[in-house]
Amino acid sequence: MPALNGKRTSKKSSDRQNKAIRYRAYPTEGQVVLFNKTVGCKRKIWNLILADRKKAWQNERKTIKPTPAQYKDKYPYLKEVDSLALCNAQIDLDQSFSNFFNNPKHFRYPKLKCKRKEHPSYTTNYQAYTKKDGTLSESIHVGNKFIRLPKMGYVKIVKHREVPSEWMNAEIKSATFSRESDGAYYISVLYEFELEAQETDNSVIDIDKVIAFDYKSDGLFCDSNGKVADMPKYFRKSEKKLAKLQRELSRKTRARKNEDPSKNYLKQKKKVGKLHQHIANQRLDHHHKKSKEIANLYDIVFIEDLEMKGIANKKRHLGKSTMDNAWGLFTTLLKYKLEDRGKILIRVDRFFPSSQICSNCGHKQKLSLSERTYKCPSCGTVIDRDHNAAINIRNEGLNVLRSEDKNITFTTAGAAGSHACEDKNKTSVSREPTPADSVHLSVKQ
């Protein structure tokens, strides 16, 4: 958890940062053929290196690290594609092994890649060199209507945005060429750049600009102010249509193994892919807008550090709702948007009993998952279960901040009654915020 000692330099510092801009691409028929070859060769290199490393360890207890160049004599078609794409496949495999050895409980042993299950994409790196005539040649070049890639040549794109002016000394690092399930092609260009340092005074925290979220299967989240996100259930809305399309797909030739795909099968598969992509785009658009709204309004956001796979797999009847909400995607978008603005996202320990504690008096009692209202037998408080949990997450986060930095003071501005304090009437809370304070400051009448 980041310490908030006085003036803190935000992540908008002079350090180099990486961000990508994604462009819609329209390759020619020849470029599509080369794209498919490159993806296939990348998969081939992964499988060859993985098989040789596995065989060397089983037979000789020896760790080897082959390179793509060692296989080009035996498989000449590997020379037809971008060599950097093959090198990146080797780097990805090395990283998979490293992840497995460092944390085998979380990461699996690398597996062979399958054409039907693999997401078609490859990455090539930026290289620059000087020609004999003194001119500079770049392996990746972004123009107004085209992007030049190694072996691929000029690929037509829709350049919907330029590199932001605040990205100082921006340099291209790599480009990823991919195809989505609906058949659309995209090129993501990764830039490395610098941002001007910005200092944020976090020794004084405005309580009104602190919020917490409790995950909610029916609605994405409930915040500490009692508001529910009301996440549109995009997958549920399209579930019947998707089921119909998939039934039709199952009746086409190639539904079973060892069958050549018919034209009708490929057409129907594209329809299914388009609907899947449409649902994903709806969800992504919603999360971008919601996370931007929150990042603009609040300085500190508290959430629970949840294990979403466990919730989706172990909890009954929650699998589709959990995946449809995409809580992990939402928190990822929210985190980088807050960091860009010099703000922070803090995760509270997942074992903190936020749903069992009364946010008013601190009484603790166990609740079953079916109980959606918290009724405190000690003080008589009746409150929505998720709202109560969000307030507790907020209180716990503030307590942790106070324990890490004793110089932090909590203030409130613009609230009604005795808490009205802005500029001349600014009042600091010199004691630890209590659950009752949080309820008063969070719930707007």
User: Has residue 427 got a pLDDT over 90?
Assistant: no
* N- to C-terminal Cα separation, the chain: 33
Q: What is the pLDDT of residue 241?
A: 96
Contacts for 416 with CB less than 8 Å, ≥ 6 apart: 445
Contacts for 398 with CB less than 8 Å, ≥ 6 apart: 210, 410, 433, 438
Average pLDDT, the chain: 84
Q: What is the pLDDT of residue 200?
A: 59
Residues 125-142: tens digit of each pLDDT: 999 888 888 788 899 999
Q: What is the pLDDT of residue 288?
A: 95
Q: What is the pLDDT of residue 318?
A: 76
Domain ranges of the chain: 16-196, 202-442
Q: What is the pLDDT of residue 56?
A: 94
Mean local confidence (pLDDT), 193-205? 70
In total, the chain counts a number of residues equal to: 445
Torsion of CA 290, 291, 292, 294, to 10 degrees: 90
Q: What is the pLDDT of residue 403?
A: 79
Structure token pair of residue 81: 């594609």
**Cβ atoms of residues 301 and 213 within 8 Å:** yes
Lowest mean pLDDT among 9-18, 203-212, 394-403: 9-18
Q: What is the pLDDT of residue 439?
A: 35
Q: What is the pLDDT of residue 289?
A: 95
For residue 295, name the pLDDT band (cuts at 50, 70, 90): very high
Category of 203 on φ-ψ map: left (φ > 0), alpha (ψ -120 to 50) or beta: alpha
CA–chain centroid gap for 128, Å, is 31
Higher pLDDT, 329 or 313: 329
User: Has residue 5 got a pLDDT over 60?
Assistant: no
Residues 39-50: tens digit of each pLDDT: 999 999 999 999
Is residue 104 helix, strand or coil? coil
Q: What is the pLDDT of residue 184?
A: 94
Instruction: Report the alpha-carbon distance of residue 290 to residue 298 in Å, rounded.
Output: 12
> Please, what is the angle between helix 385-404 and helix 435-442, to 10°?
120
Structure token pair of residue 17: 């940062």
User: Has residue 84 got a pLDDT over 90?
Assistant: yes
Q: What is the pLDDT of residue 50?
A: 96
Q: Supply the pTM of this predicted model.
A: 0.79
Residues 372-402: tens digit of each pLDDT: 888 888 888 888 888 999 999 998 988 888 8
Q: What is the pLDDT of residue 445?
A: 29
For residue 436, name the pLDDT band (cuts at 50, 70, 90): very low
Instruction: Report the alpha-carbon distance of residue 367 to residue 388 in Å, rounded.
Output: 12
Q: What is the pLDDT of residue 368?
A: 84
For residue 201, name the pLDDT band (cuts at 50, 70, 90): low
Higher pLDDT, 186 or 318: 186
Residues 335-356: tens digit of each pLDDT: 999 988 888 899 998 888 888 8
Instruction: Report the alpha-carbon distance of residue 49 to residue 299 in Å, rounded.
Output: 47
Lowest mean pLDDT among 4-13, 63-72, 146-155, 248-257: 4-13
For residue 268, name the pLDDT band (cuts at 50, 70, 90): very high
Instruction: Report the alpha-carbon distance of residue 56 to residue 62 in Å, rounded.
Output: 6
